[in-house]
Amino acid sequence: MPLGSLRPSPLVEQATEHLREQITQGEWPVGTRLPGENALAKTLGVGRSTVREALRALAGAGLVQARQGSGVFVIATEPAEDWPARLRRAAITDVYEVRMIVETQAARLAAERRTEEDVAALESALAGRERAAGGDDAAFVDADIALHAAVVAAARNPVLSDLFAEFAPALRERLIDLVEMLGLRERDPNTGHDTHAGLVAAIRRGDGGAAEEVLRTELEQTLALLHRRHP
């Protein structure tokens, strides 16, 4: 597909899409050195800054790579799969293993760093989880995730919080499936309450080892059930 001048509107997005099509449709195979910024800007009818932004977007998608002093080269013809998409198609056991690694360390940090406001948020989230026991599985899972998000927030690490925020949507889908698949709420609609109350208590008193162990034990038990269902 030949390149052509772009219409006014979000020029960076248009430039990115035009260049992406050149790559994905095979006009520029892997290993191709892209035309320089000036040439691309002239062909597309945009400024060099727009071209630079478009190239950054393509690099972020894993399609091109800038090499110092050599130019920009095509390194793939299909965009790299983003993290949320990869989580959505991952095996539930893999998702749960990652959850265990992230959240047990968050629990330890939360116990070491929590403030009075964090403790209040945890207690509120625990009460919300208990109230949600009277609702459906989706409402209960949402309340459960809210409690775990409060634990992560109490760890006072913005990168960890961002990671959990990326992880949470896929985790929610898998947890709803998990509750139904394993029948976790059939006997006890507020399943796991004692464990979660123990987790909050350990964080409140600043016992990082206990907080980590309480959460690890709960998650390991669930993971063992999953491995039996999905060997």
The half-sphere exposure of 219 on its side-chain side, counting CA atoms within 13 A, is 23
For the chain, the C-alpha Rg in angstroms (whole number) is 24
Element at 156 (helix H, strand E): none
Closest C-alpha to 92, from 174, 5, 199, 187: 174
CA dist list (Å): 55 to 8, 9, 11, 65, 106: 19, 18, 13, 9, 36
Rounded to the nearest 10°, the torsion over CA 37, 42, 43, 45 is: 110
Do 116 and 204 meet the contact criterion of CB atoms below 8 Å apart?
Answer: no
Q: Which residue do the tokens 């059939």 mark?
A: 186
Which of 6-15, 169-178, 220-229 has the lowest average pLDDT?
6-15
Q: What is the mean pLDDT of residues 209-216?
A: 96
- In order of 62, 149, 177, 230, the CA distances from 10 in angstroms are 22, 36, 40, 46
Whether this model's pTM surpasses 0.85: no
Q: What is the pLDDT at residue 183? A: 85
User: Dihedral of CA 219/225/229/231: which sign?
Assistant: positive
Distance CA 188, CA 141 (A): 14
Q: Which residue is it, tokens 């009277």?
A: 134
Report pLDDT for 220: 92
In this predicted model, what pLDDT tens digit does every residue of 169-192 receive, in sequence order? 888 888 888 888 878 899 899 999
Phi, psi at 33, each rounded to 5°:
-90, 125
Domains of the chain and any CATH numbers: 10-74 (1.10.10.10), 83-228 (1.20.120.530)
The pLDDT of residue 121 is above 70: yes
Query: How many whole angstroms separate alpha carbon 162 and alpha carbon 187?
Result: 35
